[in-house]
Chains A and B, each alone.
Chain A
Amino acid sequence: MNLGKIVGVNGNLLTVEFEKPVIQNEVGFARLGDISLKSEVIRVRGSHAELQVFEATTGLRVGDQVEFTGELLAVELGPGLLTQVFDGLQNPLPALAEECGFFLQRGKYLQALPRETKWKFTPAVKAGDSVLAGDAVGCVPEGIFDHKIMVPFRLHGRLTVKEVAAEGEYTVEDVVARVADEKGREYEVRMMQVWPVKVPVKCYAERLRPSEPLITKVRIVDTFFPVARGGTYCIPGPFGAGKTVLQQITSRHADVDVVIIAACGERAGEVVETLREFPELTDPRTGKSLMERTLIICNTSSMPVAAREASVYTAVTIAEYYRQMGLNVLLLADSTSRWAQALREMSGRLEEIPGEEAFPAYLESVIAAFYERGGVVRLHDGSTGSVTIGGTVSPAGGNFEEPVTQSTLKVVGAFHGLSRARSDARRYPAIDPLDSWSKYPSLVDAEELELARHFLREGNEVNQMMKVVGEEGTSLDDFIVYLKGEYLDDVYLQQNAFHEVDAATPVERQKHVFSALAKILRTKMKFESKEAARGFFQSLTQATRDWNQIAMEIPEFKQQEEQLDAMLAEVTSYET
């Protein structure tokens, strides 16, 4: 056993004197009476290792023992992960609550996967088959999927299957196959494997370019600032602008197989809403409860800071594991700023030379490495899987010029900037249509999209001008441009998250409605006065909003559309 001795305690940072070799990022347990506190080596200097402890360190003293495990911080991967609620170190919180009651207890670690549950295993290979790490040897049903049991990711090279278990019921610890490498060394394959969280899983044939859209059913996202499967995006915004609500909506409607929610350093109350509501909601894709495709990693703001740092890695590792089965996974991290702050706290304790706003100098590369773990991959069997990462950013003072937002913007494919002005005006979702951008292809016609953008931009300019010269000083043509921009904003960019139809707009409907709106924008209109123009657009807005709230399948949808056409015909100018 590799034991070290504590020589210093500073907050959750331990300095430990060691004799036998230690590994950077290995896990150590600080012994405190009859409990052990989990910690991780984060720096080694001479014969001293520095460890961040995932718990409060009160009660430790100089001379206490630390046991080094020789293993990096890792998670358990196997059937039984979905529907679970874990903390940042993969402790199942409901099980913890059963044992400890209302409060979290220091030094209490439970197994992530239940050991007794039996899973019905169906083999997919036979003795003599050749496999690679990450290939399936069989599968078990887990909720709505066939959960693939894979050759451990840590193995290398071509492997030969020596033996496979027969179809039947097994626990996660049972050996379901034996494989041998080229040198003849044999390895056991269990349903469960462990994988170090800070190392990306790379058992795929190649990484592809994200090209397929990930439908969120939020119009402003899908049409204007789309996200691609396997892409990355970020949502920065000041407090109260609706970051978390937007993430909650996305977690409900996103067109993916698995959703992993990493509640990282945010309010516990928000996680509770998801926890209590998801089991009640139906997933339209499967007809089952939404919880069946969801997994929550929950390390809220008052839980230990070091575990918060680990939580995003725990989440992304589990995401990569499901991707390896050929599934599309969406990882929502709320909020990456809290994670960056956890890095800052540790960096401060280590007395590293600070960068901007005291964030460590390596902040950028750490953020980049995290987002790079997203992506679409082609697996060895030819199927593809993806991990899409969406992270919220909580910039200090709502100012996007701060290090976390800026470092994130460099590495993501889409930027959904929330603005205080829009949320104050109750224009939800409060994504700023002028500042945001996306590098992924939209589902609507590019030319029509450019037309819509043109009206949003020009409309905004006219509006700014009007604030100075008043309505009287604005020409009727400019005024119509302004009204068209506002109209598009009111009926398309804004969406009522609480209305059963309007809350989620499927692809077909978005395409249909958007081209109808493009037609309205393109139409030359003629009015007697500004008052008449305003009046017309007010009633058009009302009628279009009603249209948004009618299900597409029922005849009223068509009728309402015809009514809009009739309204438009009345004001169309045929002059050339």
Chain B
Amino acid sequence: MHKVYHRIEQIAGNVIVVTAENVVYGELAQVTSDMGTSLAQVIRLEANRVSLQVFAGGRGIATDSKVRFLGNTMQIPFSENLLGRVFTGSGVPRDKGPEITENKIPIGGPSVNPAKRIIPRNMVRTGIPMIDVFNTLVESQKLPIFSVAGEPYNELLARIALQAEVDVIILGGMGLKHDDYLYFRDTLEENGALSRSVLYVHTAADPTVECMLVPDIALATAEKFALQDKRVLVLLTDMTNFADSMKEVAITMEQIPSNRGYPGDLYSQLAARYEKAVDFEGSGSITILAVTTMPGDDVTHPVPDNTGYITEGQFYLKNGRIEPFGSLSRLKQQVNSRTRDDHRTIMDTMIQLYASYKETLEKQSMGFRMSGWDQKLLKYGERFENEMMALSVNIPLEEALDRGWEILADCFEPQETGISSKLVDEFWKK
């Protein structure tokens, strides 16, 4: 029998304080006010003063609202029935389907023992040359898309999700615009992928605290699927909103901010989520693709900066294209030696030439004279941008490599590319 408390001593932001006995750190409580019932979690114990974070926010809570402690920590249901469903940040159905109550699992579980990890070895094919050829995505990788607001990052995410060969897709939406949420749902549905997807969506209109729960819920579900031998792709968008809601709560709790108002444990908090990416030996895997919007296109902003130190590279989305400079997949070396013999050469050569093209553009804009070599580069750069970089290009890796050779042959003589004569003999398009 759980005791009900009626006297709330303090309400600040989303945090309320009650005097209560025998409360467990981290446990959930139900807060009932005129606004309805919401879950809340214990985030601090000081003698018998208990601080609770109310998921639905502090608005409308009266000093005599009812608080009932539930005696258990945050848990979510897990079963095959989750597939095809949409939930809110606290795990309540957002679609019109029935509530699922079976088989509750805890969220935010312990991390994987590093001694049990293995070196990643499987490529994830996406059909996007800028990824497949130049910065290959690898199963169990954690990779963010860095971009400014307004870029088509959600479209890119959806496309990768649809084309990647995975068993289960889990979407964690944080602070999504309602249209974006509908876009994801409809796109998955139209392409017949909704039946292998689970969506946890927090929209911008929902309470802040729920935003903080989304990654944990999404990843806890992913972990369970992965342990059932499924290859799981987790999409998290947008992690900057997640960080911002942590900031909001930390400031309400009067924590000392470290950098631009973010709490001092931002790095550890982000790492705890991203490090859930794993390849379970002899079982499934979790690959994480996230979106990190950069306020003001500033990569030194605390969120992208800390993220960059945690993740295994990043895709840098700018002007509707994945930029080859600034983008990096740290794990590509693990797989791109085993795709096709010319993969690494095409990757290196095309990027080096594209870098030269950029230099030539600079020279051109400063009014220096264009040599014959410069002219070749200008032609090459244009073809590269239109036929490889554009996001509309959708071809498998092998076709992309062939197209690379074709562009090179069209623009240069073999010796100008610095490609070894052995590969030229084998692949150069005459």
Contacts and interface: CB of A to CB of B under 8 A. Distances in A.
Contacts of B309: 239, 394
Interface string B1-44: 00000000000000000000111111000000000000000001
A415 to B, nearest CB: 20
Interface string B279-308: 010000000000000000001111001101
B418 to A, nearest CB: 10
B393 interface: no
Contacts of A397: 299-302, 305
A106 B110 CA distance: 8
Contacts of A7: 46-47
Interface stretch (A19-27, A39-47, A294-302, A568-576): A294-302
A61 B24 contact: yes
B120 interface: yes
Interface stretch (A181-189, A266-274, A406-414): A266-274
B111 A104 contact: yes
* B-side interface mostly: loop
A272 B117 contact: yes
Interface stretch (B57-65, B208-216, B266-274): B266-274
Contacts of B112: 102-104, 268
Contacts of A302: 111, 268, 271-272, 274-276
A303 B268 CA distance: 9
A213 interface: no
B333 to A, nearest CB: 9
A301 B267 contact: yes
A100 B113 contact: yes
Contacts of A15: 46
Interface centre among A7, A61, A275 (most CB of B within 10 A): A61
A58 B25 contact: yes
B396 interface: no
Interface stretch (A75-83, A169-177, A341-349, A446-454): A341-349
Interface centre among B114, B265, B275 (most CB of A within 10 A): B114
Interface in A439-489: 470
Contacts of B115: 85, 93-94, 96-97, 275
B268 A272 contact: no
B24 A60 contact: yes
A396 B120 CA distance: 28
Interface centre among A94, A265, A269, A345 (most CB of B within 10 A): A269
B48 interface: yes
B368 A470 contact: yes
A529 to B, nearest CB: 14
Contact of B24 (A59, A238, A239, A301): A59
B256 A348 contact: yes
Contacts of B312: 267, 269
Contact of B275 (A9, A300, A357): A300
Contacts of B268: 265, 301-302, 305, 341-342, 345
Contacts of B267: 265, 301, 338, 341
A57 B25 contact: yes
Interface in A1-27: 6-10, 15
B275 to A, nearest CB: 4
Interface residues of A, number: 63
A354 B115 CA distance: 37
A239 B264 contact: no
Interface string B242-278: 0000000000000111110001110110011011100
Nearest to B310: A301
A105 interface: yes
Contacts of A361: none
B149 interface: no
A342 B302 CA distance: 17
Contacts of A269: 117, 120, 312, 331
A101 B111 CA distance: 11
A348 B274 CA distance: 24
A463 to B, nearest CB: 13
A543 B414 CA distance: 20
Interface in A256-313: 265, 267-269, 271-273, 275-276, 298, 300-303, 305
B300 A276 contact: no
Contact of A424 (B227, B264, B310, B325): B325
Given A106-B110, A302-B111, A424-B325, A61 B45 contact: yes
A354 B118 contact: no
Interface in A354-404: 354, 357-359, 394, 396-399
A143 interface: no
Nearest to B352: A426
A8 B25 CA distance: 9
Contacts of B299: 397
Given A9-B44, A9-B45, A240 B26 contact: no
A576 B313 CA distance: 54
Given A93-B113, A93-B115, A269-B117, A305 B265 contact: yes
A15 to B, nearest CB: 8
B422 interface: no
A399 B301 CA distance: 12
A166 interface: no
A345 B26 contact: no
A269 B140 CA distance: 10
B259 A272 contact: no
B118 A62 contact: no
Nearest to A271: B114
Interface string A84-108: 0100000001101100111111100
Contacts of A265: 267-268, 271
Contacts of B263: 348
B119 interface: yes
Contacts of A271: 114
A63 interface: yes
Contact of A61 (B25, B255, B300): B25
16 contacts: A59-B25, A62-B23, A62-B48, A93-B115, A97-B116, A102-B280, A103-B112, A239-B305, A265-B267, A267-B310, A268-B117, A271-B114, A305-B265, A348-B255, A348-B263, A358-B257
10 nearest CB pairs, A to B: A397-B300, A301-B271, A58-B26, A302-B275, A358-B258, A239-B308, A93-B115, A302-B111, A9-B45, A9-B25
Interface of B: 21-26, 44-48, 73, 109-120, 227, 255-259, 263-265, 267-268, 271-272, 274-276, 280, 299-302, 305-306, 308-310, 312-313, 325, 328, 331, 366, 368
Given A301-B267, A303-B111, 13 more contacts: A100-B113, A103-B113, A104-B113, A269-B120, A269-B331, A275-B115, A276-B119, A301-B310, A345-B264, A345-B265, A357-B259, A358-B256, A358-B257
